[in-house]
Structure 1
Amino acid sequence: MEPDVSEVGTPVCPSCGAGLGVGARFCEGCGAQVDGAPQVGGAAAVSTEPAASSGHPLDNAPISAPTRKPSAALPDPPAAGRRPCSDCGGEVGPDLYCLECGTKAPSERDHFREQPATWVAGVCDRAVRKTRNEDAMALLAGAEAGSRAVLVVLDGVSNSIDSDVASLAGARAAREVLRMPLPAGMGTPQSRDAAVAKVMARAAEAANTAIVAVTDPASPNPASATFVAVVLEGRRATWAGLGDSRAYWLPDDGPAAQLTVDDSVAQAQIAAGVAREVAETGAQAHAITKWLGRDAEDIVPMVGAMDLPEDGWLLACSDGLWNYASEPDALREQVRAAGTTDPAALALALVAFANAAGGHDNITVALARVDQPAVGQNDQTLAPPPIPGGEPTDG
C-alpha cells in the first residue's frame, strides 16, 4: 500500500501544495522558490521578507521585470520589499498572485533582470515552453555612459544535472575576473592582444571552477554550460565565446556582425558549405562541441576584439534569442522594431519577441548601448549591479 504522504512528512510547495523532492529549492509545479525549512501538509502562507543568506548560488537571484508593457492604467507600485507583478507592475501577494490583476508570479530564478547603469541592462527568462530557467547572466557597468561594461551569459546544458545552479555560479565567477580593466600589455598591439586573451581565458576558467564546485562529485551527468563574455572599454569591444551563446554588434547603421563563432555541429556544417538556415534547424542544430563543466576537455574560449566606430548595441545572448533571428541583420531588425534606446526596455522587448516566436528555450539578453564619445579608460574597479530583492545538447 502506498504510504500517506501527509503522515510521513513529505515536503510540499508552500504556494501550490505540490510534492517536493528532497532538497528542492524550487517547485517543479508552479516555479515558486522554496525556503530552507520544508512545509508539510497543506499550503501555508509565504513570507514576503527575503530569506537569510545561506551561501547558495541562487540566494541572491534578482527579481524579474515585466516582459510585456503594462496597460495604460497602472496600479500603485508595490511596497518596498514586495515583488512587482510581471504583467501589470502591481503588488504580488503572499500567495504569489498579483493583488491587482491576479496573474501568477514566476519564481525569482525563472525571470530576472540586472541593470548596473542606465546604458547597460539584461533580462534572463525561463521562456514559455520550458519548466525551469537554466540560463544565467552577470553584468557590470560604470555609471558614465561609454565608460566600461561587462556582459556575461551562460546557458546551462539541459541534459545535465543542476545546470541552473551551475550557470549562475559560473556567470558570477567570470564577472569577478573581468571586474578590473583589461591589460594594455607591453605597449604593442600583439602584446595587448595576448594579455587580454589570457584574462578572458581566466574568466572562462573561473566560470568552469565555479560550475565544478557546485556539481555533485557523484553526479552521473555533471552540470555544464556554454559561455560568452563581452567587455566594452570606451569604444573597444572584446569578447570570448565557448559553445553556442553569442555576442553580436548591431550598429544603428552599417553592417551588423556576429562576433563569436559557435562551437557546435551546426557551425561545422556551415563551415563545410551547408546553408545556415538548414544547419541551424537540423537534428543536431544545438549539439555543442565545447562547453564548461567537470567533463569538459577544452575550456579555452575563442577571443576577439574590435573598435566600434558607430553608435549601436553590443549584445550577449543565449540561443533562446538567436533561435528566432540568427542572422545579424535579422536580429537588428528586431532591435529597430522595438523603437527604443533604453537597454532595459529593449532587453524586455527582445525576450517578448522570442517568447512570441515560440519560446522553446530559455532566453537571455544582455545589452550595452554605444552612443557616446569614448571616455577615458576607467582605472577603477566596477561595483556589482544592485540586486532588487554524447555531445551535450544545449536546450
Structure 2
Amino acid sequence: MNCHQCGGTIAIADRFCEECGVDLMKKPHSPSSDNGCPKCGAPASKIDADRYCVECGFRQAILSNDTLELQPAPNFAGGSDRGRSHPQNEDAIAIEIVDPDTYIIVVCDGVSSSQHPELASQAAVAAGLNGIKLALDRGTEPASAIELGVAAALAAVSKIPIDPKSSIDPSSTTIVTAIVRNKIATIGWLGDSRAYWLAPTKSLQLTQDDSWMRDAIESGMYTPAEAEASPYAHAIVRWLGADTDDGQPNLTTFAIPSSGYLLLCTDGLWNYAPDPAYLHHLIQQSPAPESQALVRHLIGYANQQGGQDNITVAILVTSD
C-alpha cells in the first residue's frame, strides 16, 4: 500500500508514514496552498508552486485511485471510477490470469459508514487475490480457494488501524470474487456487490445480496415496492470487517453454457441497471466489443445516470 500524502510504501498496520510522518488515521486529502510540509513542518509559505518544500526538498504528491483500468488479456478487463458524487473512490478491484487459463476476479466496495473504507477495499482485494493464488498453487479446489482468499481478506481488513474511541464502525467492505476455469465459474461473496451472466439467450444474476431489502422481501414482511421505499433498502447485513459475526462467504458455481459475458460489479453500476437482461442490452450498445471498451461503456453509463456512487466493473468475455 502507499501513503496518501507522499506515495511512500506503507504496511497496513502502520500508524504513521515513515517517509513523511503523516498520520495515516486521518482521511486522505489533496495538498493545497494552506498546507505546510508534512515532513519537516515548514509553513505553507515554504511550499512552492510545484509542491516542493524549499526547506527540506520534500514534494507533496497528489495520488488518486479515482480512475483505474486493468486488462491482462483482450477478453478480460476491469475498471473502477470514483463517480460524480463521492469525494474519493472507496471501491477496489484486482484481476489476474494464472496457469494459462484460470481467471481470478476480486471486487470490493468499502462501506462508507465505516472508518477508512477506501483502505478496507484495497486491503481486501490485495489479500484476497494473493490468498486465492496461493491456494490454487497448492492444488486447492476453487470453492475452497475462495474461502481461503476471503479469510485472508478479512484478516487484512481487521488489521487496519482504527480509532477505538470513535462511534464510527471499524473498517469494512463488501466482496465478490470469482475463479473461472474450464468454463466453470466459482463465485463467492459477502454483501451486495454482484456477479451476472449476460448472454443473448438468457442473462442471470448469479449472486443474491446480503441486504436488509432481500431479507425483508423473502420473510414476507414487505412487498418489493415497500422494501425498495424503505430507508434501509440498501443496508447490507453481511460484510468483511473486524466487527463481522460471520466472514464465511456465500458460494455458488455456474457452468458457462455458451458465448457471453461474466460480469462482476459494485452497486455503483447495478443500482442503475439491476436487471440482467438490461445489462446485456447495455453491453450490446457498446461502440466496440473488446473487453476494456465494454468496461468503459458500463462505467460511462453509470456516470451518465448520475454517478451517485463509486463504480467498479470486471468483465470476462467467453466464447464457444
Range class of TM-score, shorter chain: 0.7 to 0.9
Structure 1 residue 241 displacement after superposition: 1.0
Residue of structure 2 aligned with 1:205, choices 128, 140, 151: 151
Residue of structure 2 aligned with 1:128, choices 54, 59, 84: 84
2:116 aligns to what? Answer: 162
Change (3 A) 1:335 1:182: same
Whether 1:359 and 2:307 are equivalent positions in the alignment is: yes
Distance 2:74 2:238 in 1: 34
Residue of structure 1 aligned with 2:29, choices 24, 27, 30: 27
Structure 1 residue 116 displacement after superposition: 2.0
2:240 aligns to what? Answer: 292
What CA deviation, in whole Å up to 9, does each residue of 1:50-101 have, x standing for no partner? xxxxxxxxxxxxxxxxxxxxxxxxxxxxxxxxxxxxxxxxxxxx999xxxxx
Query: AA paired with 2:299?
Result: V
Structure 1 residue 182 displacement after superposition: 5.0
2:103 aligns to what? Answer: 149
2:161 aligns to what? Answer: 215
The 5 Å alignment of 1:241-256 reads: 241-251=189-199, 253-256=200-203
Query: AA paired with 2:266?
Result: S
Whether 1:258 and 2:205 are equivalent positions in the alignment is: yes
Q: Which 5+ residue runs of structure 2 have no aligned equivalent? A: 7-21, 53-58
TM-score, normalised by the number of residues in structure 2: 0.79
1:179 aligns to what? Answer: 133
Distance 2:159 2:114 in 1: 15
Distance 1:305 1:183 in 2: 20
Q: Is the 8 A contact 1:123 1:366 kept in 2?
A: yes
Q: Is the 8 A contact 2:109 2:121 kept in 1?
A: yes
Task: Give the SS at the match of 1:226.
Answer: strand
Change (3 A) 1:349 1:176: same
1:309 aligns to what? Answer: 257
Task: Give the SS at the match of 2:289.
Answer: coil
TM-score, normalised by the number of residues in structure 1: 0.65
Distance 2:65 2:73 in 1: 22
Task: Give the SS at the match of 1:132.
Answer: coil
Structure 1 residue 356 displacement after superposition: 0.9
Q: Report sequence identity in percent.
A: 32
Q: Is the 8 A contact 1:249 1:314 kept in 2?
A: yes
Q: Is the 8 A contact 1:25 1:35 kept in 2?
A: no
Distance 1:213 1:112 in 2: 25
Corresponding pairs, count: 285
Measured on the aligned residues, the alpha-carbon RMSD in Å equals 3.1
Whether 1:271 and 2:227 are equivalent positions in the alignment is: no
Q: Is the 8 A contact 2:287 2:293 kept in 1?
A: no
Distance 1:184 1:263 in 2: 31
Distance 1:138 1:158 in 2: 20
What CA deviation, in whole Å up to 9, does each residue of 1:160-201 have, x standing for no partner? 11110121011111111222575999xxxxxx9xx5433221
Whether 1:41 and 2:49 are equivalent positions in the alignment is: no
Q: Is the 8 A contact 1:244 1:262 kept in 2?
A: yes
1:348 aligns to what? Answer: 296
Distance 2:103 2:250 in 1: 20
Query: AA paired with 2:97?
Result: A
Change (3 A) 1:125 1:276: farther
More helix by share: 2
Distance 2:184 2:92 in 1: 25
